[in-house]
């Protein structure tokens, strides 16, 4: 590590200015950077992230390289505790509109707040940098003996149910100045209760008058431990706030343990004088979560809900419970009770038709199925299978537009985005992409996505082309990316390549650096612990969790894990997809409860909304990828093998469905990649 004497820092400032001027005067048409430049940048960036000036000798030939300022910012941010305001201001002046300049400003402001160097903080501060820095700015004003004005300084922050720790000194000062009246405290406590933030409630309770503190803490307990709160609720006085806490605890417990919530409700409904709205909230929660458990009487509970308490979710679950019971008259009634816009959802159009068929009303059913069969969706493909029609896939390609393409290639921000992706900095690349195209029209976004696709940056099209006719740009939205080895690795693992493609597309949307809150990583979103076990089971090398960001490694392990899931469920790709998302043990539980249903009914009755939609998405994506690879597709209904029956991989004799374009219908946009299942319906 080099020393950081003042003279060196002055020299660094001069170099920042000089390098910036050289970059600013470099034409964006200077040509594609070379592999040598990229290799040098990657090496220099790794060194810069360790701080100091060691990166400079490596980057000596990169002064006109478009990402050169990223090197300087990386080194400065690492050394944030040693640098001074003059150094930061020099960088900001040279690159005022650059993303790394904004990052450096934010990092240095946080450092100045840590130092409590409030004069320099206020000199660099800009509004709109987030709650933490907003509160730091208020701390800076307080340090100069400025009084707080609630409406001007705190009202916006006060409206938020949760705030960062940096706001604690500001709130303490507001309390000391008498600004946090009981009315204001209760207003924020109510917001926190609605948002499920017990910590906020507990901290605010300490500022309430003594008589109110216990009441507020009951609200916090209702969120944290609803079962515990309800064990003592019968001893609470029948006050407005206690009724609020009891209502909150009952609705929270219903989600987790509907039977126990029922018992508590029977005990408390006469103890408290609940309002009609509170009674409705409790009855709604009980009905809804008895339904997600598919309990006896759940359908009757949902039907009995007052009209004012009905929601799209409760009406949806009325239909799902009826489907689980295969009570087709009840299915029709449930769908007919939905508002018109909900009835138009493809799932309910399909199941309405299925109910009509089951009740012998085939002509009416065929009309609805015909309308769905023209759509490139899970239920559209199922409808086409019912009618034995070709799948309706109507592809578009990006129209040639040399002028627009050249304009994009003259956009410095977009060029930086492409270059950041080329040097394996995809997070930074996405930020430059978003800024460069924030005001672009649809035609420009399509051309930009095509440019990204040609560079192997596949996820841009998936996230950018998400509405209207752009959804039909299947070659961009469903890339094949053969260089990553999906087809050969899937074949070696003994699974269908098109299914592996469907899983990958649903998991990460081709974002190779994707990482979930549960630490699932890479294209196929594998947990490191799972990947390690898969590697050992298959005799493969394991290089640690970060290797999952390498597409080839991720696909090798992901396809093997898919094969394990398929083996557990008789080769069934749709059940294995559910297990891949929610875990095989949960799928086993659902099979025990409803394993006699047909596949389409079983999918419709999966309790987790995310998993239901995930299975439908993966299977629809598999059809599209089958078409992309072969021009035809194995029928979706063939891949939805019956529960308990072995699924055989398609072969040369497998009947395949033709694909045509009888009508142009928009397809549904894919949901954002997800990584954690939730039990909420």
User: What is the set of active-site residues?
Assistant: 507
How far is the CA of 563 from the CAs of 343, 556, 573, 619, in angstroms? 37, 11, 9, 16
**What angle (nearest 5°) sits at the alpha carbon of residue 625, between those of residues 670 and 559?**
90
Please identify which residue in the block is written with the tokens 């690492």: 78
Pair of tokens at residue 288:
């809804």
Of 293, 388, 676, give the one whose Cα is nearest residue 519: 676
Give the residue carrying structure tokens 């940096």. 166
For the chain, what is the largest distance between any 2 Cα atoms, rounded to a whole number of angstroms? 89
Question: Which two tokens mark 559?
Answer: 């396809």
Q: In whole angstroms, what is the distance from residue 561 CA to residue 568 CA?
A: 11
389, burial (CB in 10 Å: exposed 0-12, middle 13-18, buried 19+): middle
The Cα–Cα gap between 137 and 118 comes to 8
Looking at residue 392, what DSSP letter applies?
E
- Give, for 523, the enclosing helix (H) or strand (E): none
- The string of DSSP codes covering 294-306 is T-TTHHHHHHHS-
Q: What would the DSSP string read from start to end of 232-291?
A: HGGGS---HHHHHHHHHHHHHHHHH-HHHHHHHHHHHTTTS---HHHHHHHHHHHHHHHH
Task: Give me the half-sphere count of Cα atoms (radius 13 Å) on the Cβ side of residue 272.
Answer: 28
Q: Copy the structure tokens of residue 329.
A: 């008259």
Per the structure block, which two tokens stand in for 116?
A: 């409590």
Cα–Cα distances in Å, from 25 out to 13, 32, 301, 488?
19, 17, 71, 48
Find all residues with CB under 8 Å of 494, minimum gap 6, and list them.
563, 566, 649
Number of neighbours of residue 522 by Cβ within 10 angstroms: 27
d(CA 606, CA 35): 50
DSSP tag of 660: E
Distances (CA, A) of 544 to 159, 233, 533, 570, 623: 44, 50, 11, 31, 34
Q: Which tokens is 412 given?
A: 């410095």
Q: Estimate the share of the chain in helix, then strand, then coil, as percent rounded to the nearest 5.
A: 65, 0, 35
Half-sphere exposure of 255 (CA within 13 A, CB side): 15
CB contact at 8 A, 511 and 623: no
Terminal Cα-to-Cα distance of the chain (whole angstroms): 55
Beta-carbon contacts of 220 under 8 Å, excluding residues fewer than 6 positions away, are 198, 199, 201, 202, 205
Are 394 and 665 in contact by the 8 Å Cβ rule? The answer is yes
């Amino acid at each position: 590590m080099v020393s950081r004497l003042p003279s060196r820092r002055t020299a660094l400032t001069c170099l920042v200015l000089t390098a910036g001027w050289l970059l600013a005067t470099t034409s964006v048409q200077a040509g594609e950077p070379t592999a040598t430049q990229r290799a040098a940048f990657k090496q220099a960036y790794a060194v810069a992230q360790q701080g100091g000036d060691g990166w400079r000798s490596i980057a000596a030939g990169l002064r006109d390289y478009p990402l050169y300022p990223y090197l300087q910012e990386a080194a400065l941010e690492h050394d944030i505790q040693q640098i001074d305001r003059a150094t930061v201001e020099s960088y900001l002046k040279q690159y005022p509109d650059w993303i790394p300049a904004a990052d450096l400003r934010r990092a240095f402001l946080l450092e100045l707040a840590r130092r409590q160097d409030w004069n320099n903080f206020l000199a660099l501060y800009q509004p709109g940098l987030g709650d933490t820095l907003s509160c730091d700015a208020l701390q800076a004003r307080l340090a100069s003996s400025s009084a707080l004005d609630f409406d001007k300084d705190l009202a916006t922050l006060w409206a938020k149910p949760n705030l960062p720790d940096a706001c604690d000194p500001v709130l303490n000062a507001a309390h000391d100045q008498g600004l946090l009246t009981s009315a204001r405290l209760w207003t924020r406590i109510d917001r926190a209760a609605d948002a499920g933030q017990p910590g906020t409630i507990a901290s605010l309770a300490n500022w309430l008058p003594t008589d109110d503190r216990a009441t507020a803490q009951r609200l916090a307990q209702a969120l944290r431990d609803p079962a515990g709160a309800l064990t003592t609720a019968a001893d609470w006085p029948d006050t407005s706030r206690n009724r609020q806490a009891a209502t909150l605890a009952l609705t929270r417990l219903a989600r987790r343990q509907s039977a126990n919530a029922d018992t508590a409700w029977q005990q408390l409904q006469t103890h408290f004088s609940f309002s009609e709205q509170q009674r409705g909230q409790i009855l709604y929660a009980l009905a809804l979560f008895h339904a997600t458990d598919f309990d006896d009487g759940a359908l009757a509970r949902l039907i009995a809900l007052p009209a004012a308490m009905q929601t799209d979710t409760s009406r949806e679950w009325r239909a799902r419970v009826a489907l689980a019971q295969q009570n087709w008259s009840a299915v029709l009634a449930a769908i007919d009770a939905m508002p018109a816009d909900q009835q138009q959802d493809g799932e309910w159009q399909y199941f309405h038709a299925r109910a009509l068929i089951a009740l012998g009303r085939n002509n009416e059913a065929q009309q609805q199925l015909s309308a769905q069969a023209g759509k490139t969706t899970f239920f559209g493909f199922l409808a086409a299978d019912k009618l034995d029609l070709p799948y309706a896939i109507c592809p578009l390609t990006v129209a040639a537009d040399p002028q627009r393409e050249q304009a994009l290639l003259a956009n410095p921000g977009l060029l930086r985005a492409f270059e950041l992706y080329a040097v394996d900095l995809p997070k930074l690349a996405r930020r430059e992409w978003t800024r460069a195209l924030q005001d672009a029209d649809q035609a420009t976004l399509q051309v930009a996505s095509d440019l990204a696709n040609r560079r192997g940056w596949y996820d841009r099209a998936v996230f950018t082309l998400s509405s209207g006719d752009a959804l039909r740009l299947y070659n961009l939205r469903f890339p094949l990316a053969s260089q990553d080895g999906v087809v050969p690795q899937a074949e070696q693992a003994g699974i269908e390549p098109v299914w592996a493609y469907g899983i990958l597309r649903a998991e990460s949307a081709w974002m190779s650096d994707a990482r979930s809150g549960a630490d699932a990583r890479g294209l196929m979103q594998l947990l490191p612990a799972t990947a390690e076990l898969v590697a050992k089971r298959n005799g493969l090398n394991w290089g640690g969790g970060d290797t999952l960001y390498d597409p080839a490694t991720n696909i090798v392990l992901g396809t093997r894990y898919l094969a394990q899931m398929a083996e557990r469920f008789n080769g069934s790709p749709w059940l294995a997809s559910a297990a891949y998302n929610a875990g095989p043990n949960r799928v086993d539980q659902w099979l025990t409860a409803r394993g006699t249903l047909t596949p389409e009914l079983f999918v419709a009755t999966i309790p987790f909304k995310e998993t239901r939609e995930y299975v439908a998405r993966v299977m629809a994506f598999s059809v599209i990828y089958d078409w992309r690879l072969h021009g035809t597709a194995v029928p979706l209904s063939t891949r939805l093998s019956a529960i308990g029956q072995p699924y055989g991989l398609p072969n040369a004799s497998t009947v395949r469905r033709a694909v045509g374009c009888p009508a142009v219908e928009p397809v549904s946009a894919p949901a954002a990649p997800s990584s954690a299942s939730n039990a909420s319906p």
